[in-house]
Amino acid sequence: MFSLTLVTPAKKILEKAALKKVLVPAYRGEIEILPGHAPLITTLSAGVLAYQLEGSSEEAKVSISWGYCEVTPLGEVSVLAETAEAKNEIDLARAEKARETALKQMGTTTYEAFEKTKRKLERAEARIKTVRG
């Protein structure tokens, strides 16, 4: 069986849901995971995690901020994310305002503050992409 478990410290979003495919925002780029994928462990960046459940033609999207993904030899995909928000949980206006604020701060900060602001920008853009598609 090819399945997905998606959890955060605050909530369990999916538990061993049967999948057709899942796309994760890995640290070095997106990874599409299909049945029979080789085992792996990777860190995740802020971005959109997209998955298609078995028997569905729709693709669901979740904005995540950071985390880990493991694919086991048995075809179980586990995602442990710091935060995860479905489309209906995201306030688009708030995400757009957060993006604007981060963009304004990018040019006026120290290196350490720049990295923090960059992560804020990435989270805001992931939320916007989750809502707008």
- What are the tens digits of pLDDT across the range 88-120? 898 889 989 998 988 888 777 777 788 888 888
Domain hosting residue 102, numbered range: 91-132
Pick the residue with more confidence: 111 or 123? 123
> What does pTM read for this prediction?
0.83
Spatial contact of 49 and 64, defined as CB atoms under 8 Å apart: yes
**15 lies in the same domain as 77:** yes
Mean pLDDT (whole number) for 6-20: 94
- What are the tens digits of pLDDT across the range 20-77? 999 999 998 999 999 999 999 999 999 999 999 999 999 999 999 889 999 999 999 9
What local confidence, expressed as pLDDT, does residue 40 receive? 94
What local confidence, expressed as pLDDT, does residue 129 receive? 87
What local confidence, expressed as pLDDT, does residue 76 receive? 95
**81 lies in the same domain as 101:** no
CATH classification of the domain holding 76: 2.60.15.10
**82 lies in the same domain as 96:** no
Q: Which helix (H) or strand (E) holds 102?
A: helix 92-106
**31 lies in the same domain as 68:** yes
**12 lies in the same domain as 56:** yes
Let me know if 73 is exposed, middle or buried by CB neighbors in 10 A (0-12, 13-18, 19+).
Answer: exposed
**111 lies in the same domain as 73:** no
CATH classification of the domain holding 101: 1.20.5
Q: How far is CA 23 from CA 43, 70, 94, in A?
A: 13, 13, 25
Supply the DSSP string of 50-93, one letter for each residue: EEEETT-S--EEEEE-SEEEEE-TTSEEEEEES-EEEGGG--HH
What local confidence, expressed as pLDDT, does residue 16 receive? 94
**80 lies in the same domain as 115:** no
